[in-house]
Structure 1
Amino acid sequence: MDGRFRESPDPMESMWAWLAYDLRFYRLKHGLSGDRFGRIIGVVRSTVSRMESGELKIDEKQAMALDTHFNTGGHFLRLLTYAELGHDPDWQKQYEIFEARAAMIRMYNGQLVPALFQTSAYARALLVSGRWPDIEGAIAARLARQELVARPDPPDLWVLLAESVVDWPVGGPEIMREQNAHLLEASELPNVTLRVVPKSAGAHQGLDGSFRVIRLPERDVAFVEAPGGGRLILGTAEVQAYGVRFDRIAAEALTPGASRDLIKRIMEDMA
């Protein structure tokens, strides 16, 4: 009954891996098929398989449903809570899975151009400075991700960039001019709304760091970036809080047209 299910990750790798492992452990312990287990949390068999492999995450309601069904005393909800609070070593992999499935992405970047809009030269300059072990492979991966921006059914992309993102000469003036020209081109796409938060805005909620709010078919999730990693957020209240934060930062941003004008002036100053 379990032959087509993928293996769960090593539970010692992270809290998320432990949670995925225990989904499979409890299912097999109680002799449940993927279909029967899925009915407990309101998903189909294939989704159960993806949850057990760590590809998809359970949410708070699903954790509570499992705790009620198996009478665990809150085991799954506790695992989910601590997984959301902790650093996720696989955050980039999980983020890219959600990114590919997104109907809409709202992103705020306070330091760097988002990977979806980086030129190869800009990406190379960043990776070289960070002493990345496989620079060519990383560049190829970023360029492959960018295909979703202009695919036949692309997600809506709402992009807020701090002025310093387009003003900081990563790789030197020539590379940065090329990068800003690429941003201008991307901003003309019908599914991309790009706005710059000017330095004159002063203090605002984006100074705490970069983040994403992703709308999936079944729910919204958020990611918060951190040095060397990131954190996945699934809790409804916290995800909504990041949505409000995005809106408040957007209230300080220039209009799309004024943002393009500012980027053009910065490009002229780099000449």
Structure 2
Amino acid sequence: MPQWAELCERGLYVSHINVLDPGASPLDYYGFELRRHREAAGLTQRQLGDIINYTGSLVGQIETARKLPTPEFSERVDAALGTGGLLSRLVGLVMRSQLPAWFQQTAELEARAAEICTFHTHLVHGLLQTNGYARAVLGALDQAGLDDRTAVRLARQRIFEKGEPPVFWAVVSEAALHQETGGPSVMREQLARLSSFESNPRINIQVLPFSAGAHAGSQGSFDLFRFTNDPDIVYTEGYGSGHPTANPDTVKDCSLRYDHLQAAALSLRDSAELIRRVMEERYGEQRDSDGDPVA
């Protein structure tokens, strides 16, 4: 075990070993504030870890910007140190800073939008993904740092916990329900998650069925961001690149396309029924001849 990690685990890690520059990044600033408040409370890393049910080593890694904090960690530290929610407010900024550079502007748009309209042809939108589904998507070609990358993606969903969350509309192709991403159990959990929004008037999901045939979204997936006082923005995505635009002609064209997609899609109720049917028929629990679940 490296010396610094051993010291962290024993709660003896001293601050001068790694002097953080709080202006270097949101992650460094988070670590600086965590250390400052912990030391002001007279606690070692190990003692704080014992209080919040994490290891002292993890506390040390987060303080030295070697590990990403999670919302749960932040909430526990805020409660333990009486920081008035400081770290819980900072963690969203930290998470957004860890997104790919080309996507960070879009995450800001998500956070500011009053209404978000999305159309996806083959995947469930990131704002609706479960942990297992997100891991499968992000880890398809690259397993490196998968835990942190998954946590960063899921942290975007905290926009729905705001006092005034955006109204979210999703038109998803039926193909996305059948594309077995992560295996049957992951898909079952993901479709159950989609079904759980049926009674939420701010998160609305419509399925574009195979029977719709040719449709207005045949050119690909896109998102529409609408704001209270700013122009609408259209976002499209390529391999390793994102393309937001406020061009009035593009926005007008995509808004019309979205209207037609919603008209061609199933109603909210029929969409929920189809999602449940696919979940049970395609990803339902498999049983043997004695009726016992098959591992």
Q: Structure 2-normalised TM-score?
A: 0.60
> 1:198-243, CA deviations, whole angstroms, 9 ceiling, x for partnerless residues?
0000011212111001012311111012232221111112111111
Unpaired runs of 5+ residues, structure 2, are 1-22, 24-99, 285-295
2:266 to 245, 254, 269: 254
Output one character per residue of 1:89-136: Cα deviation in whole Å (capped at 9) or x when no partner: 843111001110000001001111111000000011112212153211
Counterpart amino acid of 1:141?
A: V
1:110 has 2:111 as partner: no
Amino acid at match of 2:265: A
Q: Which residue of 1 aligns with 2:168?
A: 157
Deviation at 1:159?
0.7
CA distance in 2, matches of 1:246, 1:208: 12
SS of residue paired to 1:206: coil
C-alpha separation in 1, matches of 2:267 and 2:221 = 20
Percent identical among aligned pairs is 36
Q: Tell me which of 100, 109, 133 is aligned to 1:98.
A: 109
Alignment pair present for 1:224 and 2:239: no
* 1:188 counterpart = 2:199: yes
Q: Secondary structure at the match of 2:264?
A: coil
Contact 1:224 1:231 (C-alpha < 8 Å) held by counterparts: yes
Choose between structure 1 and 2 for higher RCO, CA contacts under 8 A separated by at least 6 residues: 1
Distance, in Å, in 2 between the alignment partners of 1:249 and 1:190 is: 19
Preserved CA contact (<8 Å) 1:205 1:248 = yes
3-state DSSP of counterpart to 2:196: helix
The list of structure 1 runs, each at least 4 consecutive aligned residues, that deviate by more than 4 angstroms after superposition, is: none
Give the match for residue 136 of structure 1: 147
What SS does the aligned partner of 2:218 have? helix
User: Following the alignment from structure 2 to structure 1, what is the Cα–Cα distance between the partners of residues 153 and 197?
Assistant: 16
Q: Contact (CA 8 Å) 2:198, 2:269: kept in 1 or not? A: no
Report whether the alignment pairs 1:233 with 2:245: yes
* C-alpha distance in structure 1 between counterparts of 2:119 and 2:242, whole Å: 14
Distance 1:242 1:91, change over 3 A: farther
Number of matched pairs: 184
Distance in 1 (alpha carbons) for counterparts of 2:200 and 2:238: 29
1:215 matched residue in structure 2: 226
Between structure 1 and structure 2, the one with the greater Rg is 2
AA of the residue aligned to 1:265? R
User: By how many angstroms is 1:151 displaced?
Assistant: 2.4
Deviation at 1:172, TM superposition (A): 0.7
TM-score norm. by structure 1 comes to: 0.65
Q: Distance in 2 between matches of 1:175 and 1:108?
A: 22
Q: Which runs of 5+ in 1 are unaligned?
A: 1-5, 7-88
Q: How far apart, CA to CA, are the structure 1 residues paired with 2:120 and 2:175?
A: 10
